[in-house]
Amino acid sequence: MLTFLLFLAVLSFLIAIHEAGHLISAKLAGVWCHEYSIGFGPVIYSRKYGETTYALKPIPFGGYVRMAGEDVGEDESEDQEVPEDSKFYSQSPGTKALISVSGPLMNILLAVLIMIFVVGFTGTPRISIFGFMENSPVEETFRVGDQIISIEGKDITSTNEINNLIQSNGEKKISVTVRRNGESLTYSVTPRYYEDQGRYMLGVELGTAMTNEVSNVASESALAEAGLQPGDRVVGVNGNPVSNGSMIIAALEEIPEGEPVKFSVMRGGEGKTIELRSGSVEDVYGSLGLRTIMDPVGPIKAITDGLDQIRNIIVLTYQGLKLVVGGQIPAGDALTGPVGIANMLGQSARQGLYPLFFLISLISLNLGLINLVPFPALDGSRIGYAAYEFLRGKPIPPEKEGLINSIGFMILIGLMIFITYKDIVNFFT
């Protein structure tokens, strides 16, 4: 229930911001706005200010700003009292494009502000080595659990920064500073070109640096039933000593399928053994949270690191789309619907503020970027219509625009149903 309420709150907030962008730009342009609605369906609550009715409706998967003269050819009785120059279709192509782009831009701006806030409030997570790839050039140099602090003197705050720095240096030797057991160590290493990846790499598996302190345990999980508690420090996994999150993950990966999982933990100065009576290693991954190691940052660093995170997400999104278009990743696996988003929000909330707000920023950014795609029924299509009108000197005939939008809307609804079905199946399996 808490996950569901969190999902509704986040989704409604992001939709409200999106539609506020359209509303503000429309009113500034002098366009008459009949209604600003969050959600679809029957009205739960409404209040009228000026010419605009502000409404809240029960179906949370969207919202809209209903402007005078927006849908030419439909019932226009409501627009009869509206001056012609206050109707949407009477505006210049530039004004139409500005009103259409304002919603996505508000989501993108919100994503940037949230990311800067997250980085400034929580700091940036360190990057740790979780394992080594085959023929890694640094396997004899680094250890599992080493935290990569800087490369060529540049502080590291994300795995994408590591990849970019390695690519820019190619096969030249680079200096890499890591933190190991509280000590900073600098090594000179040479990246290796991996043919299957098509790029230079250190040959390491990277992830967020974590301590061995348990931050949360999913309720009703096998670990919770076994007695593991937040605050416990994991010092051993099936007899293998561990001192950080990377070592815990590496030890779990060495456990054969079907073999029971035993944690040696310290709790209040007393040693305890936690053994899973049911479940498997996969259950541990889904229910165990470890404390993330964060480095505090100042205001300027928060802004630059926040912007870097947004840029990295955009780059990764673009790379992901290329893989989907190229057929390397099935489209069904790359897309997530409401159920999947709700599940991720619930998991992120249990892991702490940084994962939760990072995910909210990610959702807001993707909501903005996706709406800029020139697909019928999305804001990007209206921007395309405005560009067509600017180039041709006349708008698309209303009946054709309506037909295109209807087809696009039906496709989007079908895609949403398919993705939601997939999310539900994945949730229960």
State residue 329's pLDDT score. 63
Q: Which structure tokens are listed for 15?
A: 């939709």
83: phi then psi, degrees, rounded to nearest 5: -60, 145
One-letter amino acid at 57 equals K
CB-based contact 128:242 (threshold 8 Å): no
Highest mean pLDDT among 174-188, 249-263, 403-417: 174-188
Report the pLDDT value the prediction gives residue 217, as an integer from 0 to 100.
85
β partners of residue 217: 288
- What pLDDT, in 10s, does the model give residues 197-211? 788 889 999 988 999
Mean pLDDT, range 57-80, rounded to an integer: 79
Residue 330: per-residue pLDDT: 64
Query: Closest Cα partner for 138 from 171, 182, 187?
Result: 187
CATH 2.30.42.10 residue ranges for the chain: 124-208, 210-280
Q: Stretch 256-282: mean pLDDT, rounded?
A: 83
Cα(14)–Cα(372) distance, integer angstroms: 16
Terminal Cα-to-Cα distance of the chain (whole angstroms): 20
- Superfamily designation of domain 210-280: PDZ domain (2.30.42.10)
Per DSSP, the three-state class of 233 is strand
Cα separation, 298 vs 142, whole angstroms: 30
Q: Write the pLDDT tens digit of every residue in 288-322.
A: 888 888 888 889 988 988 898 888 788 777 777 77
Mean pLDDT for the stretch of residues 346-360: 76
* Residue 94: predicted pLDDT: 93
Predicted local confidence at residue 129, as pLDDT: 93
Q: What's the CA gap between 367 and 361, in Å, rounded?
A: 10
Residue-level pLDDT at 269: 87
Q: Is the pLDDT of residue 338 over 70?
A: no
| Element at 165 (helix H, strand E) | helix 159-169
Buried b / exposed e along 123-135 (16+ C-beta atoms within 10 A): bbbbbbbbbbbee
Q: Is pLDDT above 90 for 55?
A: yes
Instruction: Compute the C-alpha angle 118/123/125, nearest 5°.
Output: 105
Reported pTM: 0.74
Structural contact between residues 306 and 118, judged by C-beta atoms closer than 8 angstroms: yes
pLDDT value of residue 296 = 86
At 255, the pLDDT band (50, 70, 90 cuts) reads confident
pLDDT in tens, 375-407: 887 888 889 989 988 998 888 887 787 788 788
In this prediction, residue 114 carries a pLDDT of 94
Residue 157 has pLDDT above 70, yes or no: yes
Q: Where residue 15 falls among pLDDT bands split at 50, 70, 90?
A: very high
pLDDT bucket at 333, cuts 50 / 70 / 90: low
* Dist CA 68 CA 64 (whole Å): 13
Question: For position 215, what pLDDT does the model report?
Answer: 87
Mean pLDDT of the chain: 85
- pLDDT in the model for residue 151: 92
Taking the C-alpha atoms of residue 161 and residue 155, their distance in angstroms, rounded to an integer, is: 9
What was the pLDDT predicted at 281? 75
Which carries the bigger pLDDT value, residue 72 or residue 366?
Answer: 366
Q: Answer for the pair 145, 180: CB distance below 8 angstroms, yes or no.
A: yes
Cβ count near 389 (within 10 Å): 18
> Each residue of 21-50: pLDDT tens digit?
999 999 999 999 999 999 888 999 999 999
Fold assignment, 124-208: Pdz3 Domain (2.30.42)
Confidence of residue 96 (pLDDT cuts 50, 70, 90): very high
Note whether 88 and 70 are within 8 A (CB): yes
Among the listed residues 93, 159, 77, the one whose alpha carbon sits nearest the alpha carbon of residue 126: 159
Q: What is the mean pLDDT of residues 89-113?
A: 94
234-269 as b/e: b if 16+ CB within 10 A: bebbbeeebebbbbbbbbbeebeeeeebebbbbeee
Mean pLDDT value across residues 134-138:
89
* Res 4: pLDDT: 78
Instruction: Identify the pLDDT of residue 429.
Output: 61
